[in-house]
Amino acid sequence: MTSPRRRVLVVEDEPTIADILMDYLRQSGFDADHSGDGRQALEAIRANPPDLVVLDIMLPGLDGMSVCREVRGFSAVPIVMVTARVDEIDRLLGLDLGADDYVCKPFSPREVVARVTAVLRRIGRDQGARSADPCRIEVDEAGQRISIDGQRLDLTPTEYRLLSLLASQPGRIYARAQILDLAYRHNEDVSDRTIDSHIKNIRKKIAAVSTDCDPIHSVYGVGYRFET
């Protein structure tokens, strides 16, 4: 028995890019539909919900950010946003549109298909195996302590703030700039490398109490996400 092919809606107004993407998706075992306009895409998602949406930002009719926001009003369908500028990703994250991943143009179609597959796998796993979570995390705000699977982590105050921030919204991607704003004190001298090194230490401390649990994922070029 084979599972039904999953359907991806590609929302992109440049026909060449849309065609290449759809070819790759079909070759990789997906069904692919296309919409070249923001409003049409919104109607298509309402009328016949796809399994995932690849959503370009610059679109006629309604831009990708507005489409994403409106979709989140009625659907949790996974959304991979496509932007033409890598520096825009920080801004998009700040807007907290509810997208599941971001890809920057120019991309290779192979990369987009890999992201699509990864997002669907992640979401399928979350829905399928919540009960068998090897990373039961408990945050004790009053005592500024965090336990994984009942075992207390030996964290510095900064590590505590960082981990409790990430864990407060599982699945959400935090850009380094947001982490800096939210988890560090203003008078601290912090670079991206400092954040990376704190994350590295937290991962080591988690690994020391639980071998099956590695909940901090780095999102290439962007930042971090907590997900068990």
The footprint of Ca ion (CB under 5 A) covers: 13, 56, 58
Indicate the helix (H) or strand (E) that contains 159. helix 157-168
In whole angstroms, the minimum distance from the beta carbon of 139 to Ca ion comes to 41
**CB nearest Ca ion: which residue?**
58
Give the nearer residue to Ca ion in terms of CB position, either 15 or 94: 15
Give the nearer residue to Ca ion in terms of CB position, either 44 or 167: 44
In whole angstroms, the minimum distance from the beta carbon of 13 to Ca ion comes to 5
In whole angstroms, the minimum distance from the beta carbon of 9 to Ca ion comes to 15
Angle, nearest 10°, between helix axes 192-209 and 176-183?
A: 80
Give the nearer residue to Ca ion in terms of CB position, either 83 or 158: 83
Cα dihedral 14, 19, 25, 26 in deg (nearest 10) = 160
In whole angstroms, the minimum distance from the beta carbon of 58 to Ca ion comes to 4
Give the nearer residue to Ca ion in terms of CB position, either 101 or 159: 101
CA distance 141 to 158: 14
Cα dihedral 209, 210, 216, 218 in deg (nearest 10) = 100
